[in-house]
Amino acid sequence: MLATVLLALVCASPVRAWWNPEWTLRKKITMDPTAAGAAIAGPIGATPVLLRLHDGNFSFAGAKEDGGDLRFVAEDDKTPLAYHIEKYDPVLNEAFIWVRIPDLKPGEKTSLWLYYGNAAAKAVRADDPKGTYDADTALVWHLAEHGAPAVDASGNGNNAANAGLPADTAMIGTGLRLDGKTPVSFPASPSLAWAAGGSMTWSAWLKPAALQPGAVIFSRRDGGGSFVIGLDNGVPFVEVAGTAGPQRSPGGAPLVATSWHHLAVVASGPQITVFLDGEPYAALNAALPAMTVAAQLGAAAGGFVGELDELEISKVARPAGFVKFAALTQGGGDRAAKLLLFGADEQPKDWLSWMKGGYFGIILNSLTLDGWVVIAILMVMSAISWFVMVNKVGYLNSLGRGNKLFLKGWEEIANDLTVLDHGDPDKARSLGGRVDAAGQKALRRSTVYRIYHIGAAEIRHRLRADHSEKVLSARSIQAIRASLDGGLIRETQKLNRMIVLLTIAISGGPFLGLLGTVVGVMITFAAVAAAGEVNVNAIAPGIAAALLATVAGLAVAIPALFGYNYIVTRIKDATSDMHVFIDEFVTKMAEHYSEPAARNRTLTRAPFAPSEPRG
The reported pLDDT for the residue numbered 417 is 73
Q: Using an 8 Å Cβ cutoff, are 249 and 263 in contact?
A: no
62 and 177 share one domain: no
Which residue type is seen at 405? L
The reported pLDDT for the residue numbered 359 is 63
Q: Is residue 40 part of a domain?
A: yes
Distance of CA 95 to the CA centre of its chain: 24
The reported pLDDT for the residue numbered 195 is 93
User: pLDDT higher for 600 or 321?
Assistant: 321
User: pLDDT higher for 378 or 407?
Assistant: 378
Cα gap 257→242, rounded to integer Å: 32
pLDDT band at 606 (very low <50, low <70, confident <90, very high): very low
Q: Alpha carbon of 193 to those of 120, 130, 196: distances in Å?
A: 45, 20, 10
- Residues with Cβ within 8 Å of 583's Cβ and at least 6 positions away in sequence, in order, are none
405 and 508 share one domain: yes
Per-residue pLDDT reduced to its tens digit, 476-495: 888 889 998 998 999 899 88
Q: How many domains does the chain have?
A: 3
Among 61-75, 357-371, 459-473, 571-585, the range with the most confident prediction by mean pLDDT is 61-75
492 and 525 share one domain: yes
pLDDT band at 474 (very low <50, low <70, confident <90, very high): confident
pLDDT band at 245 (very low <50, low <70, confident <90, very high): confident
Mean pLDDT, range 377-385, rounded to an integer: 93
The reported pLDDT for the residue numbered 463 is 79
Domain range holding 198?
A: 137-315
Q: Is residue 359 part of a domain?
A: no
Q: Using an 8 Å Cβ cutoff, are 309 and 172 in contact?
A: yes
Per-residue pLDDT reduced to its tens digit, 429-457: 565 566 666 666 667 778 888 888 888 88
Which residue type is seen at 19? W
User: Whole-model pTM?
Assistant: 0.60
Per-residue pLDDT for 568 more than 60? yes
381 and 471 share one domain: yes
pLDDT band at 529 (very low <50, low <70, confident <90, very high): confident
CATH number of the domain that 34 lies in?
2.60.40
Cβ neighbour number for residue 233 with a 10 Å cutoff: 14
Per-residue pLDDT for 219 more than 50? yes
The reported pLDDT for the residue numbered 390 is 92
Per-residue pLDDT for 134 more than 90? yes
Least confident of 160-164, 220-224, 608-612: 608-612
Backbone angles phi, psi at 271, to 5 degrees: -135, 145
pLDDT band at 38 (very low <50, low <70, confident <90, very high): confident
CATH number of the domain that 152 lies in?
2.60.120.200
Mean pLDDT, range 550-558, rounded to an integer: 93
42 and 121 share one domain: yes
Per-residue pLDDT reduced to its tens digit, 9-36: 444 444 457 999 899 999 999 999 998 8
Mean pLDDT, range 498-511, rounded to an integer: 91
Per-residue pLDDT for 260 more than 60? yes
Mean pLDDT, range 319-348, rounded to an integer: 92
563 and 437 share one domain: yes
Mean pLDDT, range 379-404, rounded to an integer: 90
Q: Is residue 369 part of a domain?
A: yes
Q: Using an 8 Å Cβ cutoff, are 306 and 208 in contact?
A: yes
What secondary structure, in 3-state letters, does 159-208 show? CCCCCCEEECCCCCCCEEEEECCCCEECCCCHHHCECCCCEEEEEEEEEE
512 and 387 share one domain: yes
The reported pLDDT for the residue numbered 433 is 60
Q: Is residue 9 part of a domain?
A: no
158 and 306 share one domain: yes
- Residues with Cβ within 8 Å of 340's Cβ and at least 6 positions away in sequence, in order, are 29, 30, 31, 32, 49, 51, 329
Least confident of 153-167, 511-525, 598-612: 598-612
Q: Burial-class residue 247 by CB neighbours within 10 Å (0-12, 13-18, 19+).
A: middle
The reported pLDDT for the residue numbered 445 is 75
Least confident of 350-354, 400-404, 502-506: 350-354
Cα gap 388→382, rounded to integer Å: 10
Q: Is residue 328 part of a domain?
A: no
551 and 458 share one domain: yes
122 and 201 share one domain: no
Q: Using an 8 Å Cβ cutoff, are 335 and 328 in contact?
A: yes
pLDDT band at 385 (very low <50, low <70, confident <90, very high): very high
Q: Is residue 172 part of a domain?
A: yes
- Residues with Cβ within 8 Å of 191's Cβ and at least 6 positions away in sequence, in order, are 138, 139, 156, 158, 315
245 and 392 share one domain: no
Mean pLDDT (the chain) is 85
- Residues with Cβ within 8 Å of 579's Cβ and at least 6 positions away in sequence, in order, are 488
Least confident of 119-123, 215-219, 504-508, 536-540: 536-540
404 and 470 share one domain: yes
Cα gap 382→395, rounded to integer Å: 20
Q: Using an 8 Å Cβ cutoff, are 582 and 489 in contact?
A: no
Q: Is residue 228 part of a domain?
A: yes
Q: Is residue 605 part of a domain?
A: no
Per-residue pLDDT for 604 more than 70? no
Per-residue pLDDT reduced to its tens digit, 168-190: 889 999 999 999 999 999 999 99
The reported pLDDT for the residue numbered 93 is 93
Show contacts of 579-582: CB within 8 Å, 24+ apart: 579/488, 581/407, 581/410, 581/448, 581/451, 581/452, 582/451, 582/481, 582/484, 582/485, 582/488
Cα gap 407→62, rounded to integer Å: 65
